[in-house]
Amino acid sequence: METIYLVFLICLFILAIFDLSVGVTNDASNFLNSALGAKAASFRTVMVISALGILIGATLSNGMMDVARHGIYQPQHFYFTEIMCILLAVMLTDMVLLDIFNSLGLPTSTTVSLVFELLGASVAVALVKISNSNGLLNLGELLNTEKAFTMILAIFLSVAIAFLFGMIVQFLTRIIFTFNYKKQSKYFAAVFAGAAATAIVYFMLIKGLKDVTFMTAELKASIYAQSEKIVLYCFVAFTILMQILYWLKVNVFKVIVLLGTFSLALAFAGNDLVNFIGIPMAAYSSYIDLVSQSGAVSPDTFLMESLTESAETPWYFLVGAGVIMVISLTTSKKVHNVVKTSIDLSRQKEGTENFGTSSIARKLVRTTTNMFSSIISIIPPSVLEWIDSRFVSVEVPEEEKGVSFDMVRASVNVVLAALLIALGTSFKLPLSTTYVAFMVAMGTSLADRAWGRESAVYRITGVIAVVAGWFITAGAAFLFCFVVALIIYFGGFAAMIGMVGIAIYILIHSHLMYKKRQRKAALQEEVNSTVEKLQTATDTNEALALFRELSRNELNSTLLFAKDTLYKVVRGFMDENLKDLRQSLHEIEEKKIHIKQVKRVGTLGVSQLDHDIAVEKGLYYYQGNDFSSELIYSIRRMAEPCRDHIDNHFNPLSDVQKQDLGAAVDRICDYLQKCADKLIQNDYSSFKDLVHESSALTRDLVLLNKEELRRLQGQTGSTKVSMVYLNMIQETKNVVLFSTNLMKVSRKFQIER
C-alpha cells in the first residue's frame, strides 16, 4: 500500500518540476518587462539579476508553504487517503489548465490556479464526507473558510489596488520629474532613489527573514527590535550613495530599475514558489507521517493532524527549486517573447496594437472621456495648464531610441509591484504576481497619458482580455479540480493511474504544441524587430530604406505563403485530405493576423518620413498590404468550401477535373515563385513578362471555367463538386490578379522616388 503512494508522490514531484520550468517562463514578464521595456541594461544583464533574485527568493519562501498544508482545508478532519486525493487532483488539474490556456494563448495565474484548485478539490471531498457523516460534519468545520475567503479577496482586490496605486504614484512621480527627468534629477533623484531602495530592503529582507530556515531566533529578534533604526540608516545611506552616483554621472534610475527587477524576481520566487512545490511538499510531509507509524494505522483511518503545524521545508528543497527556476529562466527560448503583451499595452507611443476593439472598451473610453471632461471643467485653468506642462513630451535622447517607456515609469513599475507583492507575502497572502505586476504597469501607463485617443480602445480591449482570462482561470480551476477530485475519490487507484496517464499525455501534447506557438511567436518577433528599427532611424532616407526593406520582406513572405498554401489546399482537396485542409485554414488565420499587425507597423513607418514622401509612399505601401490581404482571403474562400465538401464525404473531383486544375495550379505556383524572387531581389526589369504571363494564366482559367459549365449543363458530373470546382477556378483567378497588382504597387514603392 505504501509503495503505491510512494509512486504517486514521485509523480507529484515530477509534475512539480514541470510546473517550475513552465511557470517561471510564463511569469517572466512580471519581473522582466520594466527593465527590458526601458532598456535599463542588456538582456543578459537583466537575466543574471533576475536569476539571483529568484534563487534568493526561493530560499526565503518557506512560510508560504502553509497555504498548501492548511490554508484552504482543515487537515485534522481529513484522512491520509483523502489528503492525497486532494493534492493529486490539484496537481493534475494544474497540468490540464496550463496546457489548455497555453494552447489557446490565454493568460493565466499560477497563484489563482492553486487557490481555486485547492478550494475545488477540498469542497468535493468535504461534500462526500458530509454526506457520509449523517449530519455530524458541516462545510465550515472541514474548510478554513475565513482564511480561504481572505486569500481570494486579497487576490482580486490586488487587481484594483495595484492599478490604483500605480496610477497615483506614477502621476505624482511624473509631476515631480516630468518627462525631462534628467534635468529634474539634480533636485529629487537621490531622495527618490534612496526611499525606493530603503523600501525594497525593508520589505524584501526584514519581512522575509522571519521564515528563513537558517536564521537563528536570536538574530531574528535582534533585527526586528532594531527595524526602525535599520530603516532610517538605510534611507540615509542609500540617499547619500545615490547622490554620489549621480555626481559620478551614473543614471540612478537605471540602478533603481535593476534593483527593483532583482526585488520583483525575489518576490516572485518567495510568493509563487508555493504554487509549484507546495502541493508535493505537503504530500511528502503526509507520507513521512504515515510511514513513521510503522504500519500501526491504515491510510484510510489516519487523520492528518500534523499538517496543521507550520511547514518546515528543508533548505535543500527550496534551493533545488530555485536552481530549477533559474535554469528554466536562462535556457527557455520563449523568454524573449513573454514580455510582449505587457509592454505593448503600456508603451508610451503607439505601436503594434495587437488587440482589436470591443464594445466594452469603446463604451469605457467614451464614458471615461466624458467623466474627465466634467472633472476638468471645474479645475482652474491655471492648475490644468501647470499640470499639462509637467507632461510635455521631450525629444528622446539617441541612447534611448526604441524604448517603450522611460526610466521613471520603469522604476515605479518594479518598485511598487515588488512592495505590494512582498507586503502580501509577509501576511502569508498568496497575491498573484501576474495580477499585481500587470495592473501596476497598466496604472502607470494610464497616469503617463500613454493611452491616447488613437490607442486607448485597443489597449483597454487588451486589458479586458487579460483580466477576463484571470476570471476564467479561477472558475475553470475550481470546476475542473472539483470533478477530478471526485473521479479519484470514487475511482480509487485505477482512477489515479488513469489521471496520471492523462497528465503524461498532456506533457507530450504540450511539447508538440510548442512548435506551433513558436512559429507564431517568430512572426511577432519579426514585427517587433521592424518597429525597433523604424524607431531608431535617424533621417528620412534611412527610414525610407528600412521601410522598403520591410515591404519587400513582407510581400515576399506573403507570396511564398500563398504559393505553398494554394498548392496544399488544391492537393488536399484532390486527395481528400481533410487534415491538410484544416491545417491550411488555421495557418491562413495566423497569416491574416500577422498582415494586420504589419499594416500597423506601416503606420509607424509613414510617420518617420517627410510629408511629401510619406503621402506618396504610404499610399503604395497600404495598397500592397491590401493586396496581400486579398490574396490570403482568396485562398481562404477557396479552402473553406473544400474542407466542408470533404468533411461531408461528398463526391470527389473527376479525373478530368483533377488533371485540368492540377496543371493550372502548378503553373500558378511557378508564377507566384517568380513574383517572389523578383520582389526580394528588387528586380523589375522583366516586369512586362510577368504581366503577360498573368494574362495568359487568366485566359486559361476562363477556358477551364467554360469547360466545366458545359459539363455541368450536360449533367456529366456531380453538381456539388462542380460548384466547389468553379469556386476554386474563380479564386485562383483572383490569386493571379492580386499577386500581379501587388507587384505593380511594389514596383512603384521600391524604385520610384
Rounded to whole angstroms, what are the CA distances from 419 to 423, 431, 542? 6, 12, 44
* Alpha carbons within 13 A on the beta-carbon side of 81: 17
Whether residues 484 and 566 share a domain: the answer is: no
Whether residues 230 and 104 share a domain: the answer is: yes
- Measured from the Cβ of residue 718, the count of other Cβ atoms closer than 10 Å reads 17
Rounded to whole angstroms, what are the CA distances from 75 to 66, 83, 291? 11, 8, 18
Whether residues 501 and 554 share a domain: the answer is: no
Lowest mean pLDDT among 70-79, 150-159, 490-499, 566-575: 150-159
What cell does 720 get?
A: 456539388
Contact 420, 436 (CB under 8 A): yes
Does 450 fall in a domain?
Answer: yes
Query: Helix and strand tally (H, E) in the chain?
Result: 26, 0
What cell does 107 get?
A: 493568460
Contact 318, 105 (CB under 8 A): no
What cell does 222 get?
A: 535582534
Lowest mean pLDDT among 156-160, 189-193, 313-317: 313-317
CATH number, position 578? 1.20.58.220
Whether residues 54 and 133 share a domain: the answer is: yes
Q: Mean pLDDT score of the chain, rounded to an integer?
A: 79
The distance between the two most distant Cα atoms of the chain, rounded to a whole number of Å, is 100
Say how many Å lie between the first and final Cα of the chain, rounded.
Answer: 82
Query: Which residue from 492, 351, 714 is spatially nearest to 5, judged by alpha carbons?
Result: 492
Cβ neighbors of 713 (< 8 A, separation 6 or more) are none
- Cα separation of 613 and 591, whole Å? 29
**φ and ψ at residue 105, rounded to 5 degrees:** 75, 20
- Say yes or no to pLDDT of 211 above 60: no
- Cα separation of 636 and 569, whole Å? 9
Between 93 and 431, the more confident residue is: 93
Whether residues 704 and 566 share a domain: the answer is: yes
Contact 544, 613 (CB under 8 A): yes
Whether residues 543 and 513 share a domain: the answer is: no
Whether residues 479 and 541 share a domain: the answer is: no
Which of 520, 548, 574 corresponds to the end of one domain? 520
Does 417 fall in a domain?
Answer: yes
Whether residues 488 and 623 share a domain: the answer is: no
Does 29 fall in a domain?
Answer: yes
- 521-548: buried (b, 16+ CB within 10 Å) or exposed (e) per residue? beebebbbebbebbbebeebeebbebbb
Between 718 and 740, the more confident residue is: 740
Query: Which residue from 349, 423, 443 is spatially nearest to 393, judged by alpha carbons?
Result: 349
Query: Which residue from 9, 2, 8, 15 is spatially nearest to 507, judged by alpha carbons?
Result: 15
What cell does 162 get?
A: 495595484
Contact 314, 62 (CB under 8 A): no
Name the band, by pLDDT with cuts 50, 70 and 90, for residue 78.
confident
Whether residues 606 and 468 share a domain: the answer is: no
Which DSSP symbol is given to 429?
A: -
Does 353 fall in a domain?
Answer: no
Instruction: For residue 73, list its beta bridge partners.
Output: 143
Does 532 fall in a domain?
Answer: no
- Say yes or no to pLDDT of 496 above 90: no
Whether residues 491 and 633 share a domain: the answer is: no
Q: Residue 753: what residue type?
A: R
Q: What is the pLDDT of residue 263?
A: 79
Q: What is the pLDDT of residues 329-367, one digit of tens each?
A: 777 665 555 556 566 666 666 654 555 566 777 777 777
Which of 455, 490, 520 corresponds to the end of one domain? 520
Does 676 fall in a domain?
Answer: yes
> In the block, which residue shows the cell 502553509?
66
Tally of domains in the chain: 2
Residues in the chain: 753
- Cα separation of 388 and 179, whole Å? 11
Q: What is the pLDDT of residues 251-261, one digit of tens each?
A: 888 888 888 88
Q: What is the pLDDT of residue 338?
A: 54
% of the chain residues with pLDDT over 90: 15
- Say yes or no to pLDDT of 679 above 70: yes
Whether residues 557 and 468 share a domain: the answer is: no
Whether residues 543 and 505 share a domain: the answer is: no
Does 367 fall in a domain?
Answer: yes
- Cα separation of 262 and 267, whole Å? 9
Q: What is the pLDDT of residues 456-480, one digit of tens each?
A: 777 777 777 777 777 788 888 899 9
Which of 454, 485, 520 corresponds to the end of one domain? 520
Query: Which residue from 230, 262, 241 is spatially nearest to 189, judged by alpha carbons?
Result: 241
- Say yes or no to pLDDT of 288 above 70: yes
Mean local confidence (pLDDT), 530-547? 65
- Say yes or no to pLDDT of 558 above 80: yes
Q: The domain containing residue 386 runs over which residues? A: 2-347+358-520
Name the band, by pLDDT with cuts 50, 70 and 90, for residue 674.
very high
Query: Which residue from 12, 15, 17, 26 is spatially nearest to 268, judged by alpha carbons?
Result: 26
Does 337 fall in a domain?
Answer: yes
Cβ neighbors of 40 (< 8 A, separation 6 or more) are 34, 46, 253, 254, 257, 258, 261, 407, 410
Cβ neighbors of 589 (< 8 A, separation 6 or more) are none
- Say yes or no to pLDDT of 105 above 60: no
Q: What is the pLDDT of residue 157?
A: 81
What cell does 571 get?
A: 492537393
